[in-house]
């Protein structure tokens, strides 16, 4: 499956399939090997242990390749992780003709992407996602790191030369990470693609491991379309925040790492469905959706146990809010996202009522 993306800087291709890691040049622009002088592959320790050798050997067919392996975890998406990588780039002798290969999940993608966006004012980047979640994070050009004050507060838009998504690498992904990635696929289904949503409902948890390239490509297509129309997040890209306003608040209140992002997003989406109905809209019914999502493997304990006042405080900190009230994505009807503004009192009332 291939998807072409026309970004404002250049056009690139997303390829989804099996064993792509073994012949990456096939999925890169034809002139790529001629125009580059060297490559630096970045991966975390886990991904490196499984796939770095394959990928290194494949790229080494045409270009000098260096590798750099980072510890696993969100902590690397920090100033110190960023500095460490910049130093690695300098030591490797990367220049404007070099490229960085981000082999990993969203953490490596965001961090390596931000290094590529800023090193010598920007060099080439190739995204090779290895998690289900990264089908989302590797598309759209957002790169960045965290600040102690909050996630993703520092960053840049930087589009890759190509996204090479070898879904065979998903075979080694732990179940927890599957649920994380499915959260975003389900989101894409709710906001834009009824067929995708239906197919996801048909999968049961065990079948999750046999996810097809077609299903993934549908989910990628939703993100691509939205991002294409609104590359710099001034309008409809906000729909991708469906479920995320509450999700970020839940993650923050629970303490990062206590709750997976996917779980938080699924909780947030169900609450957003509830809010939509309370506002008089005709979107899917929260209680009904909750049933299949629970069977799929998601827990709704976080939402049910939340302290409404604390969650509200956290929501108001969200960098996407304007002014004092909270901007919320709800569904006006199936696959009809809209943005509403909610005041404190409404939010508290809805949260308290939802818990019952």
Per the annotation, the verdict on 248 as an active-site residue is yes
Per the annotation, the verdict on 278 as an active-site residue is no
Nearer to ligand NAD, 254 or 332 (CB): 254
Query: Using CB under 6 A, which of 58, 63, 69, 72 touches ligand NAD?
Result: 72
Can residue 77 be called a binding residue for ligand NAD (CB under 6 A)?
Answer: yes
Spatial distance between the Cα atoms of 120 and 197, rounded to a whole number of angstroms: 42
Nearer to ligand NAD, 36 or 77 (CB): 77
Contact 86, 117 (CB under 8 A): no
Sign of the C-alpha dihedral, residues 93, 97, 101, 102? positive
Stretch that binds ligand NAD, among 7-15, 131-139, 315-323, 344-352 (CB under 6 A): 131-139
The reply, when asked if residue 109 is annotated as ligand binding, is yes
Q: Is 342 exposed, middle or buried (0-12, 13-18, 19+ CB in 10 A)?
A: buried
Choosing from 84, 201, 233, 277, the catalytic residue is 233
DSSP-derived secondary structure letter, 141? -
Choosing from 248, 251, 263, 267, the catalytic residue is 248
Query: Using CB under 6 A, which of 81, 104, 189, 297 touches ligand NAD?
Result: 104
Spatial distance between the Cα atoms of 28 and 160, rounded to a whole number of angstroms: 10
Starting at the earlier edge strand, list the strands of the sheet with 2-6: 2-6, 11-17, 162-166, 124-129, 99-104, 39-44, 65-70
Residue with tokens 């809805």: 350
Smallest gap from Cβ 181 to ligand NAD, in A, equals 7
Per the annotation, the verdict on 10 as an active-site residue is no
Dmax over CA atoms of the chain, in Å, equals 62
Residue with tokens 């989406």: 269
Per the annotation, the verdict on 228 as an active-site residue is no
Per the annotation, the verdict on 237 as an active-site residue is yes
Contacts of 334 (CB under 8 A, 6+ apart): 194, 282, 283, 284
Nearest to 261 by CA among 77, 102, 74, 45: 74
Can residue 110 be called a binding residue for ligand NAD (CB under 6 A)?
Answer: yes
Query: Using CB under 6 A, which of 89, 162, 180, 342 touches ligand NAD?
Result: 180
Can residue 173 be called a binding residue for ligand NAD (CB under 6 A)?
Answer: yes
The reply, when asked if residue 184 is annotated as ligand binding, is yes
Per the annotation, the verdict on 223 as an active-site residue is yes
Can residue 142 be called a binding residue for ligand NAD (CB under 6 A)?
Answer: yes
State the number of CA atoms in the 13 A half-sphere of 14 facing the CB.
Answer: 29
Within residues 33-52, the interface with ligand NAD by CB under 6 A covers: 44, 46-47, 50
Nearer to ligand NAD, 179 or 290 (CB): 179
Contact 349, 339 (CB under 8 A): no
Nearer to ligand NAD, 36 or 223 (CB): 223
Contact 14, 127 (CB under 8 A): no
- The binding site for ligand NAD (CB under 6 A) comprises 44, 46-47, 50, 72, 74, 77, 104-108, 110, 130-131, 133-134, 136-137, 140, 142, 151-152, 169-170, 172-173, 177, 180
- Residues designated catalytic: 121, 142, 184, 223, 233, 237, 241, 244, 248, 261
Residues making up the annotated binding site for NAD(+) are: 106-110, 130-131, 142, 151
Residues making up the annotated binding site for Zn(2+) are: 184, 244, 261
């Amino acid at each position: 499956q291939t998807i072409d993306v026309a970004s404002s800087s250049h056009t690139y291709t997303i390829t989804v399939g099996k064993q792509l890691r073994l012949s990456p040049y096939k999925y890169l622009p034809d002139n790529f090997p001629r125009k580059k002088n060297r490559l630096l592959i970045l991966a975390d320790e886990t991904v490196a242990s499984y796939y770095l050798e394959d990928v290194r050997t494949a790229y080494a067919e045409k270009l000098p390749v260096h590798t750099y392996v980072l510890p696993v975890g969100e902590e690397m998406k920090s100033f110190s992780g960023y500095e460490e990588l910049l130093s690695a780039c300098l030591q490797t002798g990367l220049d404007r003709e070099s490229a960085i290969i981000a082999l990993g999940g969203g953490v490596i993608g965001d961090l390596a992407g931000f290094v590529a966006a800023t090193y010598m004012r920007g060099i080439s980047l190739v995204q090779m996602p290895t998690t289900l979640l990264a089908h989302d994070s590797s598309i759209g050009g957002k790169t960045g790191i965290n600040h102690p004050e909050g996630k993703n507060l520092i960053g840049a838009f930087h589009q890759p030369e190509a996204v090479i998504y070898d879904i065979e690498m998903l075979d080694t992904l732990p179940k927890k990470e599957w649920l994380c990635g499915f959260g975003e696929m389900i989101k894409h289904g709710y906001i834009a693609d009824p067929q995708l949503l239906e197919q996801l409902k048909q999968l049961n948890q065990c079948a999750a491991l046999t996810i097809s390239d077609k299903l993934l490509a549908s989910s990628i297509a939703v993100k691509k379309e939205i991002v294409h129309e609104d590359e710099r997040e001034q309008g409809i890209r906000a729909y991708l925040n469906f479920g995320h306003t509450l999700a970020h608040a839940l993650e923050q209140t629970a303490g990062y790492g206590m709750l997976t992002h996917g779980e938080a997003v699924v909780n947030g989406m169900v609450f957003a469905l509830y809010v939509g109905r309370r506002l008089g809209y005709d979107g899917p019914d929260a209680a009904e959706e909750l049933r299949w999502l629970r069977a799929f493997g998601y827990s709704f304990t976080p939402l049910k146990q939340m302290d409404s006042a604390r969650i509200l405080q956290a929501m108001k900190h969200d960098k996407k809010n304007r002014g004092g009230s909270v901007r919320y994505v709800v569904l006006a009807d199936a696959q009809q996202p809209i943005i509403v503004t909610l005041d404190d009192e409404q939010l508290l009332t809805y949260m308290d009522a939802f818990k019952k």
